[in-house]
Chain A
Amino acid sequence: MSETNEAILVMEDIDKSFPGVHALDHVHFDVRCGEVHALMGENGAGKSTLMKVLTGIYSKDSGKITFEGREIEFHNTREAQDAGIVIVHQELNMVGDLTVAQNIFIGREFMKGFRIDDKKMIEESNKLFDELKIQIDPKAKMSDLTVGKQQMCEIAKAISHQAKVIVFDEPSAALTEKEIEDLFTIIRDLRDKGMAIVYISHRMDEIKVITDRVTVMRDGGYVGTLITNDCTKEDIINMMVGRVIYEDPKTESHVPADAPVVLKVEHLNAGRMVQDVSFELRKGEILGFSGLMGAGRTETARALFGADPKTSGDIYVNGQKVTINSPQDAVKYGIGYLSEDRKRYGIVVQKSIIENSTLATLEKYMKGAFIDKAEEEKITQKYIDELSTKTPSADTLVVNLSGGNQQKVVIAKWLVRNCDILIFDEPTRGIDVGAKNEIYKLMNRLAEEGKSIIMISSEMTEILRMSDRIVVMCEGKKTGELDIAEATQEKIMDKATRDIA
């Protein structure tokens, strides 16, 4: 700890608006040499935006950034890198077809005349890896490495920039426990060498372990900064969520004990990410799927839905064995899937709400060979009202709606289809806080109406608040099943991080 150190980087009164969104509202942030400073907040709190302003990906509307005593403003990441501020991105920015060494030095290759000096790049990479005490072959192709190793390469790349400030944007999201430990060793090492580290994460446990100070953001605003050792988890959580949004966790299951099983999955296998997964879903139940990123939950859902091929496994809907080889089959048996990545898998953004709403049910809205557009509009309008989707009209292109309302369009699509089993994959990702609450209410209502819901979520609070029962996965395997009455964060975390291998 080095409280005497001067702040190397200070951001004051940073303000940034996008059309329709006040993304950053006079935010303060500073980081000192030799400290790990956590930046916390819910999804959409503005953490990533703040860091993008820092490194010149976005330009700020107002405010001041001081780095090493001088006021600065970067116009692109290159300038920020050259000054010594580097981000290790959440989504990895690697060129899969090039080797590790080629990736680390991309954009600033060592040259011998015309020729790129690959030999020297490999040597330098080895030096970096030695420094970090990790073992990676610089000649390996990037796409052949595990996600954890790729992350290490990103870090090596950051260090090779002579960085003074390194920003880690949710680095642990996709890592195994062992890899996280390695990562922490490296981060401590860097801190002790006097670097300033910004650590963005959702995970409370990590924050307590690795950081010196915590700054909390909420809805684009600055909430406060705490010294990690002097505060409790609850303090931080309270600052993050405020009191309005989160109700207490569910204490007991709302499902009657005799509710029939509507979906039974036995010994489902699909690739490396889904190994021998079995579970049951009952009528009117919300079954939470918890686990770390990359635990295989989405893969399980996709295999169940027929979106990806499966190797083996039996599926029973309402007691009858069914074959699901494609989404068509799944939809036929009344299963609907709401993907975590709405824009890619959920909606057709360049089309209207009407076209999206009836996408799974078009045959019901035909008059002979033609689409009955009046009937289509009627049903769409019905669900716009019912879900209180905010839109000027049913004709509006989905691209013009906010995240929460886009999600409602996807939900409407499956409600029009009258699916009995709904798979919600990260239903509130990228949705602002108010809309989140509405989605929760909606899910509860659907469950009361007798629909059965599988909810995949990485947010612990969401899992504890919504689920009647919780399935926990880790590294492609189901590692536990808990009734909500007995579930706690700790129990779930324990199962989610169990190193089965």
Chain B
Amino acid sequence: MAKKKSILSDQRFIVLLVIIALVVIYMIFSPEFRKYSSILSMLDFSYYDVLMAIGVTFPLITSGVDLSIGTGMVCYALIAGRLIRDFNIPVVLAMLICILLGCIVGLANGSLIGIMGLPPFLATLCTCMITRGVSSMIMATPWPTNKQPGGWFHSIFKLTFGSGRSATKIPIGFVLVVIFVLIMEFVLNHTRFGRYTIAIGSNKEAITLSGVNVKFYHVMAYTVCGLFAGLAAIAYAAVVPTVQPGTGAGLELDAIGGVFVGGVSATGGYGSVLGTLAGVFVIVLLKTGLPYVGLQANWQQIVTGIVLIGAVIIDVIKRRRLAKEQ
């Protein structure tokens, strides 16, 4: 019989406690961190991570992975940015192009994996190389700044009233990503797409026999991931002064790491987008917060690595205990 699960055993709850603890520690030890502007800049640099992570949650639940989101994101931002500069296309069109490119690459990943049967890791490694190669051919590109025409798109993530030092800034991007998280949490739990995504990760054979078009939904999981990589490209362009060609490798790891910290099982079949949000914020807090408490920025990477291993070890121990009970 199903046991009543205590809230304490829910990894999302633990992660939430970790977030609160981190924030409290930072606040106590760093007056700098207590400033509104610090919070603001931390949030600024969290959006693209969160968006990538929302997307990659889906392939990870199918027990696959998408390694191309980091380089892909940079690649889309570069291409769209170049189009703004060279062809004067409106920013809104550039944003749509980002999303479209993301979907195309996601579709390609999905087809390679779901239809052609390539191992997810390898297929997305290849698209990671390809998107990186493409992006290295394009000149470094700043998207329009706040004051330039087309700069309005910054307001999607941060409303700015007034100018100079006295400007009031509101991080509405946070509201935006939370909405996305809620939508995708709903999609995961209450739509066919979400349900079959879980089923693919849990027992692919079973739903194939139930007559579900598994290939289609498998491809969809990667396409959705690509779509969010496209959205992340917009968020990335909004905070990075100039998008540099050939970069982006390694950015996907923060997102993927966040998803695992958030409680997606390393073997697929279980996950939640809310957990992902919490997990990514742990990573973001480590990434941007440690310098405030006097640790070199580089310690962040070490701590992130250790936290990631820790999160998965919890999962492993939990599964081992379960196996022992049976």
Residues of chain A within 8 A (CB-CB) of B324 are 271, 309
Known contacts: A95-B206, A116-B190. The answer to whether A102 contacts B2 by CB under 8 A is: no
Which chain A positions have C-beta within 8 A of B210? 77-78, 93, 106-107
Nearest chain-A residue to B265 (Cβ)? A97
Instruction: From B12-20, B70-78, B192-200, give the one contacting chain A.
Output: B192-200
- What are the residues of chain B within 8 A of A111 when measuring CB–CB? 192
How many A-B contacts are there with CB distance less than 8 Å?
A: 70
A 105-149 to B, binary, CB cutoff 8 A, 1 in contact else 0: 011010100111010000000000000000001001100100000
Tell me, yes or no, whether B33 is within 8 Å of chain A by CB: no
Choice from A78, A97, A109, A116 contacting B202 with Cβ under 8 Å: A97
CB interface residues, B 184-214, toward A, < 8 Å: 186, 190-192, 195, 198-199, 201-203, 205-207, 209-212
Interchain CB contact under 8 A, A98 and B211:
no
CB distance from A103 to the nearest CB of B (A): 8
Task: Indicate if A76 sits at the interface (CB-CB under 8 A).
Answer: yes
Band of interface residues on B: 20 to 34
> With a CB–CB cut-off of 8 A, which chain A residues contact B201?
97
Q: Report the minimum CB–CB distance from A203 to chain B (whole Å).
A: 25
Chain A interface secondary structure, helix, strand, loop or mixed?
Answer: loop
Say how far B158's CB is from chain A's closest CB, in angstroms.
31
Q: Which residues of A contact B195 (CB under 8 A)?
A: 98, 102, 106, 109, 116
Whether B191 contacts A114 by the Cβ 8 Å rule is yes
Q: How far is the CA of A114 from the CA of B270 in the complex (A)?
A: 22
- A406 close to B (CB within 8 Å): no
Smallest Cβ-Cβ distance to A157: which chain B residue: B210
The winner among A89, A96, A97, A109 for most chain B CB atoms within 10 A is: A97
Residue of B nearest to A116 (CB): B190
Chain A proximity of B58: nearest CB distance (Å): 15
Proximity bits, B1-16, A CB within 8 Å = 1, else 0: 1110000000000000
Contact of B2 among A115, A144, A309 (CB under 8 A): A144
Interface membership of B296, Cβ < 8 A = no
Within 8 A of B (CB), among A43-85: 76-78, 81
Q: Which residues of B are found within 8 Å of A107, using beta-carbon distances?
A: 207, 210-212
Query: B residues 155-187 with Cβ under 8 Å of A?
Result: 186
Supposing A140-B2, A271-B326, A309-B324 touch, asked if A93 and B211 sit within 8 A by C-beta, the answer is no
Task: Report the bound CA distance from A77 to B206 in whole Å.
Answer: 11
Complex: how many Å from CA A89 to CA B209? 10
Judge if A367 is at the interface, Cβ distance under 8 Å.
no
Q: Does B269 contact A (CB under 8 A)?
A: yes
Interface centre among B201, B205, B209 (most CB of A within 10 A): B209
- Across the interface, name the chain B residue whose C-beta is closest to A115: B190
CB under 8 Å from chain B, chain A span 222-281: 271-272
Contact A81 B202 (CB under 8 A): no
Q: How far is the CA of A94 from the CA of B203 in the complex (A)?
A: 7
As a 0/1 sequence over residues 192 to 207 of chain A, the CB contacts with chain B under 8 angstroms (1 = contact) are 0000000000000000
Known: A106-B195, A118-B190. A95 touches B211 (CB 8 A): no
Once bound together, how far apart are the Cα atoms of A319 and B325, in whole Å?
Answer: 32
Expressed in whole angstroms, the Cα–Cα distance for A271 and B322 within the complex equals 11
Closest residue of chain A to B187 (Cβ to Cβ) is A114
Asked if A96 and B269 sit within 8 Å, CB to CB, the answer is yes
| Docked complex Cα distance between A345 and B185 (Å) | 39
CA distance A353 to B207 in the complex (A): 36
Contact present for A95 and B207 (CB under 8 Å): yes
Given contacts A109-B192, A115-B191, A309-B324, contact A144 B1 (CB under 8 A): yes
Contact pattern, B 101-119, Cβ under 8 Å of A = 1, otherwise 0: 0000000000000000000
Contact with B along A437-471 (1 / 0, CB 8 A): 00000000000000000000000000000000000
Q: Closest approach, in angstroms, between the C-beta of A215 and any C-beta of chain B?
A: 25
CA distance A118 to B194 in the complex (A): 13
- Across the two chains, which residue of chain B brings its CB closest to A87? B209
Per the bound structure, the CA–CA distance linking A144 and B206 in Å amounts to 17
B190:A98 contact, CB within 8 angstroms: no
Residue on B with the closest CB to A89?
B209
CA distance A95 to B204 in the complex (A): 8
Counting chain A CB atoms within 10 Å of each CB, the highest count among B3, B211, B324, B325 belongs to B211
**Contact B202–A272 (Cβ < 8 Å):** no
Docked Cα-Cα span, A96 to B268, in Å, equals 12
Nearest-CB residue, chain B, relative to A91: B205
Q: In the complex, what distance in Å separates the CA atom of A76 from the CA atom of B195?
A: 22
Q: Nearest Cβ in chain B — how far from A488, in angstroms? A: 34
| Also in contact, A97 and B326, with CB within 8 A (given A81-B211, A116-B195) | no
Q: Pick the contact of A97 from B1, B186, B269 — CB < 8 Å?
A: B269
> Which residues on the A side are within 8 Å of B206 (C-beta)?
93-95, 106
Residue on A with the closest CB to B193? A114
Question: What would 24 A/B residue contacts be, using CB atoms closer than 8 Å?
Answer: A77-B209, A77-B210, A93-B203, A94-B203, A95-B198, A95-B202, A95-B203, A95-B206, A96-B269, A97-B199, A97-B202, A102-B195, A106-B195, A106-B199, A106-B206, A107-B207, A107-B210, A114-B191, A115-B190, A115-B191, A118-B190, A141-B2, A144-B3, A309-B324
Q: A-contacting residues of B (Cβ < 8 Å)?
A: 1-3, 186, 190-192, 195, 198-199, 201-203, 205-207, 209-212, 269-270, 324-326
Closest 9 A/B residue pairs (Cβ)? A78-B211, A107-B210, A97-B202, A93-B206, A97-B269, A144-B2, A107-B212, A95-B199, A95-B203
